[in-house]
Structure 1
Amino acid sequence: MTLPIQFPPPFPIQEYRSRLAALRSFMAERKVDLLIVNQHEHMEYFAGYAPTAAMYQAILIPLDGEPVAVIRALDASVFSETSWLTDYVAFADNEDPIEVASNTIVSLGHGGSAIGVERDSYFFTINRAVAFEGFLPNVRFVDFSDILWLMRQVKSPLELACLQVAAGICDRATMVGFEAAEAGVSEREVLAVMISEALRNGADNAQLVQLVCGPRSGSLHGALGNRILAEGDIVHAEPVPHFRGYTSRMMRPKSIGAPTDEQMLIAEATIRVQDEQFRAMKPGAEAKEVDKILREGMLSAGLRDRYTNVTGYTLGLKHPPRTSDFTRVFLADSDWRLLENQVFHMYTGAGGMAFSETIVVTPEGGRRLTKMERRLFS
């Protein structure tokens, strides 16, 4: 019998304050008096609150003093329930949230300050930037792009614990999905089983499984269809559950009926190359060298005739609209080095079969958080 997944404790206030202290060191270096945070991952990272995207909301973080949230009045109860912050300004739906945020900045004494803005935020659109400039004509706006994405790269023990829970959900959802995936069964029935298992085990998102079957199994971003599984089909399962906003991922293939000898050889060779890549994922390793192991290994083994995509990318806090975090990716020209306790989704595939893991960087090499057996299932 499978034991229940053990959930870690909530993040303590001290962890949030430690994050703020690290952020404020960057603010001081760039002589920023106040930072407007509106990318949802960053709002959750610093405040414990991630809004919907229906209306603009933000966290105002001064160099000194407590942060203040600018939130939709409809969301005030959710904010109070989830955030450790206590200071907020709530706006009604008939108010302009940019104007409310601007007025709040002035009331905090920063109407003529240097203010940092996330120009790479999905929610800091050109129109919103222009509106802020109009409401705050005496402010000097400072670009704070990349900084918050990069400072979230190294995961704390509690963050790793959340990612471990999400990885365990991947394992369980895929296993029950593969138990259900038989000839004559609809791919939608397999998906329903996987989603149900994920939700029972703590997943907090609804769109949490990518399932592609039959001739489309090699299309990793293919849409769900209405296929009735048949002998010879390959089922591609990629659960992407979130737990407290943290997402782990995994890919596994299953053959409906006995796989061919060629499929078995391709799967085994793919896993061998990828395992070699994982072993190289140590602190200080060059990303391009880690990428080279898999990219050139797959090509030289004849498993692929071309390789245009990344071989891995950042995992951690994730909220819509971006489905994947490409702050750090593995490509042939990736000019950065791995850090201990970074977490990545490392993936590859050949012959319509894909394999991937959630990997944490350790001094001994990449350690799998996803634990499901690595093979072509049948």
Structure 2
Amino acid sequence: MGEHPAFGPAEFADRLARLKARLRAAEVEAALFDEIEAMTWISGFGSSANRWRCVVIPLEAEPFFLIRALDASVCRQRSWIGDVPTFRDWEDPVPVLLSSLRARGLEEARIGLDFESYGTSIAGFAALQAALPRARFIDIGPVVAELRLIKSAAEVALLRRAAAIADEALRRAAAACVPGATQRDAARIAQSTFVELGADPYRPGPITAGRGWDFLHGHLGDDPLSEGDVVHIELTPRIHGYSARVMRCVVLGEPEPERLRAAGVLATLQDRQIAAMRPGALAGEVDAILREGVIRAGLRDSYDNITGYTLGLYGDAGPRTSDFTRILHPGANWRMEAGMVFHVYASAGGAALSESVLVTESGPELLTHLPRTLLTNRQGA
């Protein structure tokens, strides 16, 4: 069995116990997980979906990790799961899955699946049904995503480190935003800072120049920057997959009065929103502080995006760039709990800013610590 570089056996034992409690409540005898975030959280290892793979957790028998032979060695190095059945790249993994289930007496079991898993295609589900005609497949929903909402002390430690790297990388990237430089220069500096300071070698996050507010998820450009440009920088460093995030706008030259006003309004409203992020707070009410405040201030006619979402573990090869297990929007009727971590973000009037926030028993804690205003190159940001 392998050893994870950030989490010890007790961490995974706790995760497994919590997961099995949920599976018992769902009245299944085993569960199959094939989303990379779920597999990684359970086992310590996740791989791309170039070939279908899964982690199977029986309630009574030993778990196993079904994976292509090429990835088996690295799986065993990182995962606590000792049984790793394999298949060659050109082989069908389903017969190997069937053999492992049969060895555990589970070929006729009630097997839990997340019916909205991005890892299971329609054809793949049909193949499971054909291979296990006497089994019953039960929709257990996003069980692992919900369990991941409350972070352990070890997970929070990774997020704190990632947040500090986000702050420093944004400082360095912002300083590179000068006339004649390019957005690519900022991206290069941000990514090299990630690696230098101990983060995963992953893409830096959205970096783009524009002059309005709705360019936040634009494309990296190669045109030289000039006086008056605004560079939006949102950095998303990861450590062992755990990502903190921070967003600022960098103004080349003197900020326009209206942009400065917008930044001040956003910071004030978001400060109030963050202060409300306490255990028991109703998410929709937390969302309204920013959403309705921006509209009342005349910075937007409508606010059509969410104002925050879950932070935590992201898969290296998963299709989701953000975790929307919990999101802040007008109809959000769930309540905040200690141990949740969020990326809260605001944009309007040519300004944008965001923070990573941990909800604790005593209230919110900012994990990111940059000045909450526009950044300018003349400030040496």
> Among residues 243, 249, 266, which one is paired with 2:245 in the alignment?
249
Distance 1:361 1:346 in 2: 12
**Could you tell me whether the CA contact under 8 Å between 1:217 and 1:234 is conserved in 2?**
no
1:152 aligns to 2:148 (yes or no)? yes
Structure 1 residue aligned with 2:281: 285
Residue deviations 1:169-204, cap 9 Å, x none? Answer: 111110000111101111111111111111111221
1:326 aligns to 2:324 (yes or no)? yes
Letter of the structure 2 residue corresponding to residue 19 of structure 1: R
Distance 2:54 2:13 in 1: 18
1:81 aligns to 2:60 (yes or no)? no
**Could you tell me whether the CA contact under 8 Å between 2:258 and 2:349 is conserved in 1?**
no
Distance 2:18 2:364 in 1: 26
Paired residues, what number? 371
Distance 2:216 2:154 in 1: 30
**Could you tell me whether the CA contact under 8 Å between 2:209 and 2:215 is conserved in 1?**
no
Distance 1:25 1:75 in 2: 30
Q: TM-score, normalised by structure 1?
A: 0.95
1:121 aligns to 2:117 (yes or no)? yes
Distance 1:367 1:9 in 2: 26
**Could you tell me whether the CA contact under 8 Å between 1:194 and 1:209 is conserved in 2?**
no
Letter of the structure 2 residue corresponding to residue 322 of structure 1: R
Structure 2 residue aligned with 1:46: 42
> Among residues 3, 12, 17, which one is paired with 2:13 in the alignment?
17
Structure 1 residue aligned with 2:205: 209
Deviates further, 312-321 or 282-291: 312-321
Give unpaired runs (5+ residues) of structure 2.
377-381
Change (3 A) 1:300 1:364: farther
Letter of the structure 1 residue corresponding to residue 88 of structure 2: A
Change (3 A) 1:217 1:295: closer
Structure 2 residue aligned with 1:365: 363
Letter of the structure 2 residue corresponding to residue 296 of structure 1: E
- Measure how far apart 1:206 and its partner are: 2.2
**Could you tell me whether the CA contact under 8 Å between 1:216 and 1:222 is conserved in 2?**
no
> Among residues 211, 217, 221, which one is paired with 1:221 in the alignment?
217
1:143 aligns to 2:139 (yes or no)? yes
Change (3 A) 1:185 1:217: farther
Letter of the structure 2 residue corresponding to residue 285 of structure 1: A
SS at match of 1:65: coil
Distance 1:182 1:144 in 2: 52
Structure 2 residue aligned with 1:356: 354
Residue deviations 1:212-246, cap 9 Å, x none? Answer: 11336631111111121111111100011111111
Structure 1 residue aligned with 2:104: 108
Give unpaired runs (5+ residues) of structure 1.
1-7
1:193 aligns to 2:189 (yes or no)? yes
Distance 2:99 2:204 in 1: 39
- Measure how far apart 1:9 and its partner are: 6.5
Superposed, 1:233-272 pairs within 5 Å as 233-272=229-268
- Measure how far apart 1:362 and its partner are: 2.0
Structure 2 residue aligned with 1:134: 130
> Among residues 333, 336, 339, which one is paired with 2:334 in the alignment?
336
> Among residues 47, 71, 82, which one is paired with 2:67 in the alignment?
71
**Could you tell me whether the CA contact under 8 Å between 2:165 and 2:237 is conserved in 1?**
yes
Structure 1 residue aligned with 2:309: 313
> Among residues 175, 181, 194, which one is paired with 2:177 in the alignment?
181
Letter of the structure 2 residue corresponding to residue 94 of structure 1: W
Distance 1:204 1:223 in 2: 22
Structure 2 residue aligned with 1:231: 227
SS at match of 1:61: strand
Distance 1:364 1:23 in 2: 27
SS at match of 2:375: coil
- Measure how far apart 1:154 and its partner are: 0.5
Residue deviations 1:38-86, cap 9 Å, x none? Answer: 1111111110001122111111111013311101100012112211221
Q: CA RMSD in A?
A: 1.4
Residue deviations 1:222-277, cap 9 Å, x none? Answer: 11111211111111000111111111111001100111222211111110000000
Structure 1 residue aligned with 2:23: 27
